[in-house]
Structure 1
């Protein structure tokens, strides 16, 4: 409809004008019908009832005239005769007679006014008959009374009392006949009054009913009109709200139908354009999410100054490498190698992201990742990195079974395993690179230490090694075992390194025995009590055969027995090679 294509302002003004028009129509109709009732009431009060009153008073005047006539006769018949009193009674009689004429004439004028008024639905024929009957009654009365009055006056002057008494009785008979006619006319007139009253009541009731109906119709029409127009406003708003909730939930696939051309329609069109842009940005984010971690992408979108300026933050860095990769890759085709590496990275990346880590890059067969602000809180980064490492290690048995099936061979030429190094420390975060290409990454001693610890796993025959700072951050969150005090290449001061054995409370009895014996052996080793250390490490191997750190330190003890350490030896081991 054309009305729905107007602006919201015009719609609201249209609703207001429509309601005003309906109110005016209702008011005008009520006024017209009230005026009709007023006309009927005016005719009833100012014509019907006064006309009836004139007829009633005509009856009274006729009785007053008869009384005046008798007084006049009685005054004349007095002896001696009082002419002055007689003249006064005669004037009284004539005045009363004139009043009868006035009352009758007043009734006739009002009846004729009712008949002549075209605005009222009166019974004009009946009123005309009443008017004629009034005129006839008065004419007959006047004709008969004039002769009797003249005769009566002559008889009174001649003092013919017997004849005067008879004439007076005849006059009373004429008066009674006149009164009977007037009473009959009054009865008919009263019927017309009742008819007019019923007309007034009927019109008043009709006016009330019609006003009620018109008011109800106006209310219904106004409500329907307002409902249609308001629905034309609110329906797009509800659609817009539903679309907003979809966007809030991260769903950008539902566009809003633009059904109006008002401001809301323009807003809906703009909303659809925004959804399209968001959908486009989401596709870009999903695409780049395969090359850059989605959290980094979102972080750079939310806070681009971080990438530009760079910041120093304490973060936990992890390096993960596949052991035996070089030997394994020599016997594979490029296609097979890509398939193996993609599967390996997919399996190992899952635990990192599940534990809210950021994958920085893939380097050959290695994975570099990190934990820290602004992606997670600083206090939980070490524990999350340790949990991710444990879950990654748990994937190794399944991965060893999947790779031959993936390549279509019976067994891998070289067994694969996992080495993980984790370190915590202050690093620089920001976009590093050239003007042509940038990479958001982390740099610092903690990164180098994590890379070195991943390689140190080869020496100790372990899977997961962490730095002292990471162990302090984890506290009792995981089961740890101190392996050694080590100074890696590039560091002068040694620090303790720890092996992540498992989640808290999940160690077996053999692992508990291994750790207790190893702790005792390590303490004796640092005090140069090599015999006690050898016994403890051998006990550890009995609890857990094949334990790499125990074998490494037993070999080192044999080396020290052949070539004892210097006198200032601090119990730490130093690695010169990277």
Structure 2
């Protein structure tokens, strides 16, 4: 509709003008109806009622005329006759006679004015008959009264008392007849007054009803008009609000329908352009999220200065490698190898992200990940890294069953397994690289230590080895076993390394027995009580046959029998190879 293509200001002004027009129409109709009632009421009060009053006063004037006539006769009949008094009574008589005609004439004029007024619906025929009857009655009264009055004066002057009395009675009879005629005329006039009053009341009721109906219609039409226009304003606003909530929820696939050409329509069009840009940015983010961890992407977006400046933070680093990868990949086609590696990385990356870790990179068949601020709290990073390692190790049996199906073979030539190394320490975080390409990563001794610990698993036959700092951070949240005091390649000072055996309270009886005997054997081994150490380590092997750390220490003890350690040996082992 054209009205919806106007600006909001014009819509609001249009609503106001429409309501004003409806109010004016209602007021005009009310004024017209009130004026009609006013005309009728004016005619009733200024014509009908005064005409009726004039007729009533004509009756009174006739009585006054009769009284004046009697006084005149009585004054004339006095002896001696008082001419001055008689003249005064005569003037009173003539004045009352004139007043009768004046009252009747005023009534006739008012009735004729009612008849001549085209604005009022009166019974003009009935009024014309009343006016004619008034004229006839007054004319007859004047004729009869004039004749009898002259006769009466002569009789009074001649002192004819009996004849004068008879004439006076005849005059009274004429007056009574006149009063009866006037009474009948007044009765008919009263009917016209009642009829006019009924018209006034009827028009008043009609005016009230019409005004009420017009007011209700104006209100309904005004409300409908306002509702129509306001809905044209609020509907796009609600759509815009719904679209905003969709965007707030992260859904950018629902553009808003632009239904108007006002400011809201322009806002909706701008909102759609914004959604398209956000959708584009989200596609970029999703695309890069496949190459860079989404938390890193979001962190760099929220705090770009971190990528530029770099920061030193205490973080927990994990390296995960697939054992047996080299022999397994020798007989694979490139497509099969990619298929296996993608599935392997998908399975192993899930636990890392589920435990709020950040995947830094994939290196061949290895995964590098880290935990730490600002992505998680510093006190949680060791525990979360350990839990991620346990979850990854639990995926190994299912992965071993899935790989033959992926490759379309019955059995793998060699079983794959995991080696995980975790270390905690201060590292440098930031964007590392050249002007052509940068990578947000972590660097430092803790990174090197985690990489070395991953490789050390091959020496001890373990899956998950962690540093002393990581073990201190984990505390009692996971079940740990100290494996050895070791100085890896590139480090001069040895430190204790630990194996993550499971979640807290989840050790089986055999594993608990293994940890107990191994701890006894490790203490005896460091104290050079090699026979006692061998007995404890063999007891550990009885609890869990094939335990790699126990077998490794027993092998060293066997070497010490032929080549004992130096006198200043501190019980630590040093690896010269990476």
The TM-score bracket by the shorter chain reads over 0.9
Cα deviation for residue 568 of structure 1 reads 2.7
Note if 1:182 corresponds to 2:199. Answer: no
| Separation in structure 2 between the aligned mates of residue 137 and residue 404 of structure 1, nearest angstrom | 137
Cα deviation for residue 564 of structure 1 reads 2.5
| Separation in structure 2 between the aligned mates of residue 119 and residue 334 of structure 1, nearest angstrom | 109
Note if 1:102 corresponds to 2:102. Answer: yes
- Equivalent residues in 2 for 1:32-431, closer than 5 Å: 32-431=32-431
| Separation in structure 2 between the aligned mates of residue 370 and residue 89 of structure 1, nearest angstrom | 139
Cα deviation for residue 332 of structure 1 reads 2.1
Deviates more, 1:529-538 or 1:560-569: 560-569
Q: Which residue of 2 aligns with 1:436?
A: 436
Cα deviation for residue 569 of structure 1 reads 2.3
| Separation in structure 1 between the aligned mates of residue 106 and residue 203 of structure 2, nearest angstrom | 28
Q: Which residue of 2 aligns with 1:6?
A: 6
Cα deviation for residue 161 of structure 1 reads 0.5
Deviations 1:343-382 (A, max 9, x none): 1111111111111111111101100011112222222111
Cα deviation for residue 436 of structure 1 reads 1.2
Deviations 1:286-311 (A, max 9, x none): 22222111221222222222212212
Cα deviation for residue 108 of structure 1 reads 1.1
Cα deviation for residue 554 of structure 1 reads 1.3
| Separation in structure 2 between the aligned mates of residue 155 and residue 363 of structure 1, nearest angstrom | 159
SS in 2 for 1:442: strand
| Separation in structure 1 between the aligned mates of residue 479 and residue 75 of structure 2, nearest angstrom | 150
| Separation in structure 2 between the aligned mates of residue 519 and residue 147 of structure 1, nearest angstrom | 163
SS in 1 for 2:182: helix
| Separation in structure 2 between the aligned mates of residue 6 and residue 292 of structure 1, nearest angstrom | 49
Q: Which residue of 2 aligns with 1:23?
A: 23
Deviations 1:17-52 (A, max 9, x none): 111111111111111111111111111111110110
Deviates more, 1:130-139 or 1:370-379: 370-379
Aligned residues: 578
SS in 2 for 1:502: strand
Cα deviation for residue 406 of structure 1 reads 1.7
Cα deviation for residue 331 of structure 1 reads 2.3
Deviations 1:83-112 (A, max 9, x none): 222222222211211211111111111111
TM-score normalized with structure 1 length? 0.98
| Separation in structure 2 between the aligned mates of residue 98 and residue 463 of structure 1, nearest angstrom | 143
Deviations 1:94-147 (A, max 9, x none): 121121111111111111111122211111221111111111110110011001
SS in 2 for 1:260: coil
Give the root-mean-square deviation of aligned CA atoms.
Answer: 1.2
Cα deviation for residue 493 of structure 1 reads 1.9
SS in 1 for 2:498: strand
| Separation in structure 2 between the aligned mates of residue 49 and residue 573 of structure 1, nearest angstrom | 135
| Separation in structure 2 between the aligned mates of residue 43 and residue 305 of structure 1, nearest angstrom | 93
| Separation in structure 2 between the aligned mates of residue 311 and residue 17 of structure 1, nearest angstrom | 65
Deviations 1:432-456 (A, max 9, x none): 1111111111111111111011011
| Separation in structure 2 between the aligned mates of residue 194 and residue 182 of structure 1, nearest angstrom | 18
| Separation in structure 1 between the aligned mates of residue 379 and residue 124 of structure 2, nearest angstrom | 107
TM-score normalized with structure 2 length? 0.98
| Separation in structure 2 between the aligned mates of residue 10 and residue 470 of structure 1, nearest angstrom | 69
Q: Which residue of 1 aligns with 2:568?
A: 568
Cα deviation for residue 566 of structure 1 reads 2.5
SS in 1 for 2:147: helix
| Separation in structure 2 between the aligned mates of residue 431 and residue 494 of structure 1, nearest angstrom | 31
Listed as ranges, the gaps of 5+ residues in structure 2 are none
| Separation in structure 2 between the aligned mates of residue 416 and residue 279 of structure 1, nearest angstrom | 41
SS in 2 for 1:431: strand
| Separation in structure 2 between the aligned mates of residue 8 and residue 575 of structure 1, nearest angstrom | 79
Listed as ranges, the gaps of 5+ residues in structure 1 are none
| Separation in structure 2 between the aligned mates of residue 179 and residue 324 of structure 1, nearest angstrom | 144
| Separation in structure 2 between the aligned mates of residue 412 and residue 427 of structure 1, nearest angstrom | 39
